Structure 1
Amino acid sequence: MFRLQATDLSAGYTETPIINHLDLCIPDKKVTAIIGSNGCGKSTLLKTLTRILPHSDGSILLDGEHIAKKNTKALAKDMAILPQSPETTGGLTVGELVSYGRFPHQRGFGRLTAKDKMIIDRAMEQTGTLDFKYRPVDALSGGQRQRVWIAMALAQETDMIFLDEPTTYLDLAHQLEVLELLQHLNETEERTIVMVLHDLNHAARFADHIVAMKNGGIVKSGTPDDVIEHEVLKTVFQIDAVIARDPRTHKPMCMTYHLLKGEITNEENITHIRPVAGRA
């Protein structure tokens, strides 16, 4: 099932197109990872799907309605987005930051109701941040801060959460902590998770659906087995990868690779073939 679909989508900054006539379907209640080299349009796609960046052509439908026509608060009840390396105003406590997630649901003077406070505490409890409620966000470690931002998204009570490189600047343990939390939210609460990831093995391990991008288009989308394979990685990253099977998860994993210097890998075909929408 697809609640969110993009058709013939183009977007970019000023006069520079980044995404070119792209078709995409986001599987509902699944974890989707977007992968690709730097500058391929991953973050631009994420911002366009969540209306942070306007699209210049095509359409984005959420539950059959154009998101461009949706009220801002109404859209914020459907989707939350965490940008790459989000920053807070100095001096904010964890509880204060998480409370911002209730903004789309507030009326009048924006005072927190008893229900708001209950939802805020529950979001912090789910993310293991309740003990930090009165601590300044700036005093937390990178992994702790990222969990606080996810708590804010949970307090927003959306079915869909978009994250732009949520593991950036985190060590391996904290990367796994964040990704396992997102996987848990998907499995226990059926939240739709869409995230940009750089680590191919993380994408294969934690995602149900992967979208591989190059030059503003989609090279391949599908299951980890569909996307984490030799020819796709050769086209997307210009690498010669050895793909094996993870003995714990039975998902594909990139064992080793080397750069294919000076080799052309179907780059002309990417710009001329209309991408096929992903499947669940």
Structure 2
Amino acid sequence: MVRLYTNEITIGYGDRVIVKDLSVQIPDRKITTIIGSNGCGKSTLLKAISRIIPFQSGTVILDGKNISQENTKILAKKMAILPQTPESASGLSVGELVSYGRFPYQKGFSRLTKKDMEVINWALEVTGTACFKYRPVDALSGGQRQRVWIAMALAQETEIIFLDEPTTYLDMAHQLEVLELLQRLNREQERTIVMVLHDLNQAARFADYLIALKDGQVMKAGQSEEVLTPLVLRKVFNIDAEIGKDPRTNKPMCITYNLLKGDRKHEKADDSLYFNLSVNY
């Protein structure tokens, strides 16, 4: 089932086009991860789909409606986004910041309800930030702040959550903690998760569906076994990768790689391999 998809969207900044005529489908109630090299359009695509930035042409459809014409509060009850570099929360306590996730459910200047407080406290607990509730956000470490921003996104109680590099600033243990949390939300509450990740092995391990971008175009989309292959990684990252299997998850993993230089005869392979946009879920 697909509730969210783009239809030939073009996105740019000024005269520079980042994404051109791109059509992608986001599987419902699955974890979708977008991968690709720096500057390929991953974050730009994520922001456009979530209506953070406008697109020049095309449409983004959610539940049969063009999101460009949807009411902001209605849309905010369906999707939440954690940007790569969240805005400053100077002067706010952790609890106050997380409470902003309840904005779509409030009327005017009404106070937080009992239900709001329950959701806020739940979001703090599941992200391991309840002990920081009354501390200033500015006083936290980078990793702690990241978990607080995720708590705010969770407090929004949306069916779809977008995250742009959610493991930024986190050590290995906290990266795993965040990704396992997102996986639980997907499996136990059937939340649709869409995120950008740089770590290919994390992407393959946690995603049900991968989208590999290069220069604003989809090179390959599908399950991790279809996308994390030597041929696709050559096309997307210009690397010669050795792919094995994770002994704990049986998912593909990049064991090692070299940067390809000079003659690139490998690119003479059938390019149709990279443009198979079939949805397998």
TM-score (norm 1): 0.94
Cα distance in 1 for partners of 2:263, 2:169 equals 31
Percent identity, aligned pairs only? 62
1:76 corresponding residue in structure 2: 76
Label 1:20 to 1:27 Cα distance change in 2 as closer, same or farther (>3 A): same
Within 2, Cα distance between the matches of 1:194 and 1:263?
36
Please tell me the residue identity of whatever aligns with 2:56.
Answer: S
Whole-angstrom distance in 2 between the partners of 1:47 and 1:118? 29
2: CA distance between counterparts of 1:118 and 1:260?
53
The answer to whether the aligner puts 1:247 opposite 2:254 as a matched pair is no
What is the aligned length? 279
Instruction: Assess if the C-alpha contact under 8 Å between 1:85 and 1:168 holds in 2.
Output: no
- CA deviation after TM superposition for structure 1 residue 266, in Å: 4.0
- In the TM superposition, residue 141 of structure 1 has moved relative to its aligned partner by 2.7
1:143 Cα shift? 2.6
The alignment partner of 2:24 has SS state of: strand
Give the conservation status (yes or no) of the 8 Å contact 1:24–1:278.
Answer: no
Aligned residue type for 1:104: P
Q: CA deviation at 1:167?
A: 1.3
Residue 186 of structure 1, CA deviation: 1.1
Q: Which amino acid aligns with 1:228?
A: L
Which deviates the most, 23-32 or 117-126?
117-126
| Secondary structure, counterpart of 1:91 in structure 2 | coil
CA contact (8 A) 2:2 2:25 kept: yes
- Partners of 1:145 and 1:202 in 2: CA distance: 21
Report SS of the residue matched to 1:10. strand
Q: Secondary structure at the match of 1:55?
A: coil
Q: Does 1:170 align with 2:166?
A: no
- Distance in 1 separating the partners of 2:276 and 2:214: 11
1:231 alignment partner in structure 2: 231
Instruction: Note the aligned Cα RMSD (angstroms).
Output: 2.0
The answer to whether the Cα contact below 8 Å between 1:143 and 1:178 also exists between their aligned partners in 2 is: no
Residue-by-residue CA offset, 1:166-192 (whole Å, 9 max, x unaligned): 112222222112111111211111111
Letter in 1 for 2:7: T
SS of 1:170's partner is coil
Does the CA contact (< 8 Å) of 2:127 and 2:178 recur in 1? no
What TM-score do you get using the length of structure 2 for normalisation? 0.94
- In the other structure, the counterpart of 1:258 is 258
2:180 is aligned to: 180
- Structure 1 stretches of 5 or more lacking a match? none
Kindly indicate whether residue 29 of structure 2 is the aligned counterpart of residue 29 of structure 1.
yes
Deviations 1:155-212 (A, max 9, x none): 1110111011111222222211211111121111111111100010010111111000
The one-letter amino acid paired with 1:27 is P
Q: Tell me, yes or no, if structure 1 residue 209 matches structure 2 residue 209.
A: yes
Question: Amino acid of the residue matched to residue 106 of structure 2?
Answer: Q
User: Is residue 133 of structure 1 aligned with residue 133 of structure 2?
Assistant: yes
Task: Give me the whole-angstrom Cα distance separating, in 2, the residues matched to 1:20 and 1:221.
Answer: 17
* Residue pair 1:23, 1:276 contacting (<8 A) in 2 also: no
Shift of 1:263: 4.0
* Equivalent pair of 2:89/2:97 in contact (CA under 8 Å): no
C-alpha displacement at 1:28, in angstroms? 0.8
Give the 5 Å matches for 1:151-170: 151-170=151-170
Counterpart contact for 1:2–1:26, Cα < 8 Å = yes
